[in-house]
Every structure is written in structure tokens, then in C-alpha cells.
Amino acid sequence: MTFLYLLLVSFLLATQGFAYPQPLPLTGPAHFTHDPAIIYNPQSDYYYVFSTHGGVARSRELLGPWTAVGQYLPTGCSIVTSNAGHCDTWAPDVHYLSGMYYLYYAISGFGSQNSTIGVATSPTMEYGSWTDHGTVFSSVDGDTFNAIDPNLIVDNGTLLLTFGSYWADIYQFPLSPSGLAPLTNPPNLTWLSFNSTPPQSEEGAFVYQPHGSGYYYLFYSSGTCCGFVAGDLPAPGNEYKVFVGRSESATGPFVDQNGTPLLQTGGTEVLASHDNIYAPGGTSLFWDPKSKKDVIAYHWRPFNNIQGDANSMLGLNYVDFSSVSGAIPWSGI
């Protein structure tokens, strides 16, 4: 009852800057987590979280204890770009597809459009089990988009890769059935979301169909993600936060709660700084078969101990996609 109340209040009051619920209490040693990708493996009975810079954590239960278990590409990857030959992977995205786990990642650099989305596969997700397949899709200086922050959704058998961008924000294109390359060359891009107001560029998209829902929700983060200096933070509200829009199709068009298209600077805020939680974002979602709930994962920094970008940690909340009464179910966190 209290929980439902929190969800409802957090949604209804979101735009007025009222409190969001605290992240669920997690156990285990805190370790660096940024742009978390979360999944459950029913075979091994482990939950996994994959992070920017390659780290992996796993746990028997959703609430922990979470334990760091090394890197998903411990010996590097095959992608060499002009500014990131060392294969520092960003913003992983993980899904299970017919007997295999697919992990998409991005290689880029701050302020660069020389970016590549790559993919690795594993039958188990265990340490050392990932095979890197290299580049899926790239962007270069001068493109309208930026090939970062990949996210896969399988829509009635069609693989769709949503990505981007900071440059003109969020795009999507169909992948070949292998999941390793675009379906067509060049990819058939659909523009999904755009905010023209600096510094509110959008990135970190995740298209999610809640368990049992006929709707598709496009989550994304906007604002300043990183490079925080305590005492010299962005103007309040310009730091990372999470928005959502909804569609009856995985390919859009997506609109926010007021019906404003995401392509016209729409977006309903569903998570932002609150209490000691600073600059939450980089979301992924999944259906947890144990709790039988939709779960959102994100990163955040403790406002009282930001430590630049070093102290970035995992946040989890259950999501109630029907917390608002009336004809239109909507999302709360």
C-alpha cells in the first residue's frame, strides 16, 4: 500500500519537483556502475549488471549482495577508432535471443562523433565467455547522429536497434536477424526523439514493452551526465534526469503524457535528482520473473559525496506502469 502510494505520488508530483522514491536498498560492496544494463539468467539463477568501462556485477537476488565479477571483454575488443583504440566500452545493453546473450556497447570519446556500436555474444554471461564480433554501426564527424548508447528490442521477430546521440538525439534502425549488422546498407534510420534546447540533449535510450502491456515506452536521459565538480555543478535541473514517451509501436511515433511528440521536445520526466540522489540516468529495464515486476536500473551519485565521476552507483526501482487511474496507464518509478 505504501509502495503504491509512493509510486503514485512520485508520478503525479514529478513535474513540480517533489520527491521520487529512494532506490531500493541494495547489499554487497558498492562498485562503480554507470549506464547499467540489467538482466536475469534463469539457467544460472544470477542477476547481472553490465556497466560503462566494462565492469560486471552479479547477484543471486535482485537486492543483493551484488558482487563485482571482472570485465565482459577482459582482453579488449576488435574495434579501433581514431580516439579510442583501447576499447573503453560505454553504455552496454544486454538481451537474450534464441539461446545466446547479446551485449551491445559503444566506443567513442567525449565530444566526438567518431563512434562505433559493437556487439559481443555469450551463451552464459560468465566471465571469459564473451565473443566479440566488432562493429555493427559507426558514425563520423559531420553525421547528424552519433553511434553511441545502443539498445535492442525484438518486435514481433524484427530486431530494432535504438541508439544515440547527443547529436540530434535518438534514432533507430532494423538489424539483420543475426543481430550483428544492419538489415540494410545504409541502415534505414527512423528519428525517434529530439530536444533542441541546450544542454538538454538526449541519449541513453531504452525502448521497453512492459510485461503484459500493448504499449512501448521510450526512456531516455537528458542533461549533463558527467564531469561533475562539487562546488561547480551545472545549474539545478541541467544535470542528468530521465524522461519517457509512449507509442503503440516499437518504431514510434512516441508522445509524452501531454501528447507532445518526443520529436518536438516532448518527454515526461520520471526521475531526477532528489534527496541525496544526484543526476540519475543511463536507464535499462527488465521484467523480473521472481518479483513479477518491471524493474528500472539507473546510475546516480550521492550528492554529499560526488567524487567527480568516480562515485557512480547502481539504483534499482520497481516500475508501476498502471499507477495512474483512468483510461491511459502511464509510468511511475
Ligand X SMILES: *[C@@H]1O[C@H](CO)[C@@H](O)[C@H](O)[C@H]1NC(C)=O
Q: How far is the CB of 173 from ligand X (least distance, A)?
A: 8
Whether residue 272 contacts residue 241, with contact meaning beta carbons closer than 8 Å, is answered with yes
Q: Which is nearer to ligand X, 192 or 225 (CB)?
A: 192
Q: Which position among 203, 256, 269, 294 bears the catalytic label?
A: 203
Q: How far is the CB of 184 from ligand X (least distance, A)?
A: 6
Q: How far is the CB of 165 from ligand X (least distance, A)?
A: 15
Cross-strand bridge partners of residue 288: 293
Which residues have C-beta within 8 Å of that of residue 273, sequence separation ≥ 6?
A: 236, 239, 241, 279, 280, 303
Q: Which is nearer to ligand X, 157 or 326 (CB)?
A: 157
Q: Which is nearer to ligand X, 152 or 270 (CB)?
A: 152
Q: Which is nearer to ligand X, 30 or 183 (CB)?
A: 183
Whether residue 36 contacts residue 282, with contact meaning beta carbons closer than 8 Å, is answered with yes
Binding residues vs ligand X (CB under 6 A): 82-83, 112, 114, 141, 156-157, 184, 188, 190, 251
Q: How far is the CB of 129 from ligand X (least distance, A)?
A: 32
State how far the Cα of 112 lies from the Cα of 176, in Å rounded to an integer.
27
Side-chain-facing half-sphere of 50: CA atoms under 13 Å: 27
DSSP 3-state assignment of 2? helix
Instruction: State yes or no: is 239 an active-site residue.
Output: no
DSSP 261-307: BGGGT--EEEE--BTTEEEEEEEEEEEETTTTEEEEEEEEEETT--T
Read off the amino acid at residue 262: L
For residue 315, which of 332, 331, 295 has the smallest C-alpha distance? 295
Sign of CA dihedral 273, 218, 159, 147: negative
Q: What cell was used for 216? A: 512501448
Q: Which position among 35, 169, 269, 320 bears the catalytic label?
A: 35
Instruction: State yes or no: is 35 an active-site residue.
Output: yes
> What Rg value do the Cα atoms of the chain yield, rounded?
18
Q: How far is the CB of 269 from ligand X (least distance, A)?
A: 29
DSSP 52-74: TTSEEEEESSTT---EEEEESST
DSSP 3-state assignment of 151? strand
Q: How far is the CB of 249 from ligand X (least distance, A)?
A: 9
Q: Which is nearer to ligand X, 178 or 188 (CB)?
A: 188
Q: Which is nearer to ligand X, 109 or 302 (CB)?
A: 109
Active site residues: 35, 203
